[in-house]
Structures are given as C-alpha cells and as structure tokens.
C-alpha cells in the first residue's frame, strides 16, 4: 500500500474485476484510451483470478482508493521497468466519474511517481497522451511531465486519426 494525500494505492484484487469491467465498458471513461475489444465480465474475472498476484518490478498495477471513504475509483500502472535503463511507462485512469476534477488523479500521479523514483529507483517515467485529452494533459504537465515528442496519427477515435504526445518525467522533476 502506498499513501498519498487523497488516495491510497493498493494491489488490484480479483474482487475488483466488476469495477474494472464496468469502467472498460463506459465510453466516456475510455474516450481517449486504447480500449480493445469488449470482454464479458466472466472473462475479466477469470483473468484477474489467474494473474493475481501479478505485481513485479517490471509491472506494478495498483488500484486507486480514496482515503476518505475507501472507494476504488481507478487504477495506475508502471510497466516495462528495467533496472538497467531505470525507465518505466505510466498508465492511469479514473473510472468513477464522480471523482473526476477533484484532485484524485493528480494525487495518484504524484504518489505513483514518488513510488517509482524512491522505491523502484527509476530515473525516468514516460507516458503517452492524445492532445485532445485536455484534462489528462493538464494533470501531467502540473506534476512535471514534459512533452518530448509527437507520434503522428497513431490513435483512431470517431473515424478520425489523432496524434499522441510522448511525455517524460525525470527523477527530481516531480512538482509538489
């Protein structure tokens, strides 16, 4: 368990499968994310059961819970971590829309980045974001991520291709 100011990051449990399934089938939540193909709840439950526990240095997946009421509101992952390079890629989303715009995503970002830099001894954390995802882009810049490049027309949504920005945060650049 990793504590922030508003959130607690904890390992995902098989019992979280229903929330994950619900979020992944909500078009508003998945708007700017690679959502793949719809899966039945039973398949998500089976995957969560078979892969539990799955956290390792290379792949850390945490549920985001509010400290106030213990509600599971999203997830965050550091993946592809290698001790040789000191780099990992970050993914995050809040599936509970009632918690959007209230500081939880920002706190979860800061908390997982602190964990990556302090506990995992990472040097750099990267992510990608569609520029039209204004809320996420704003949060990433707020915590210190810097735009490093643009991948042209690699994300398709609503019959249109979108660019993705690559962003990075180096050890010591995290904004409080």
The pLDDT tens digits of the residues spanning 135-162 come to 999 999 999 999 999 999 999 999 999 9
Q: What is the pLDDT at residue 81?
A: 96
Q: What is the pLDDT at residue 37?
A: 74
Query: Which of 27-36, 40-49, 74-83 is predicted most confidently?
Result: 74-83
Using pLDDT thresholds of 50, 70 and 90, give the confidence band for residue 52. Answer: low
- What mean pLDDT do residues 107-126 have? 98
pLDDT at 169 over 70: yes
Fold of the CATH domain 2-170: Aminopeptidase (3.40.630)
Q: Helix or strand or coil: residue 71? A: coil
pLDDT at 51 over 80: no
84 versus 40: the higher-pLDDT residue is 84
34 versus 134: the higher-pLDDT residue is 134
- What mean pLDDT do residues 38-64 have? 84
Q: Nearest-CA neighbor of 143 among 174, 165, 117, 118?
A: 174
Using pLDDT thresholds of 50, 70 and 90, give the confidence band for residue 53. Answer: low
Q: C-alpha distances in angstroms, 26 versus 39, 77, 111?
A: 13, 20, 26
Distance CA 64, CA 16 (A): 11
- Cβ contact 10:1 at 8 Å: yes
């Amino acid at each position: 368990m990793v504590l922030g100011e508003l959130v607690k990051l904890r390992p995902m449990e098989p019992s979280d499968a229903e929330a994950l399934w619900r979020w992944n089938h909500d078009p508003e939540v998945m708007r700017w994310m690679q959502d793949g193909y719809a899966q039945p709840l039973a398949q998500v439950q089976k995957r969560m059961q078979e892969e539990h526990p799955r956290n390792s240095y290379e792949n850390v997946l945490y549920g985001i819970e509010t400290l106030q009421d213990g509600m599971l509101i999203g997830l965050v992952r550091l993946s592809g971590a290698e001790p040789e390079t000191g780099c990992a890629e970050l993914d995050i989303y809040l599936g509970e829309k009632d918690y959007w715009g209230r500081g939880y995503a920002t706190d979860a970002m800061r908390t997982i980045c602190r964990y990556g830099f302090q506990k995992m001894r990472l040097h750099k954390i990267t992510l990608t974001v569609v520029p039209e995802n204004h809320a996420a882009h704003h949060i990433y810049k707020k915590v210190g991520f810097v735009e490093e490049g643009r991948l042209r027309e690699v994300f398709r949504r609503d019959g249109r291709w979108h660019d993705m920005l690559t962003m990075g945060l180096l050890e010591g650049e995290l904004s409080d």
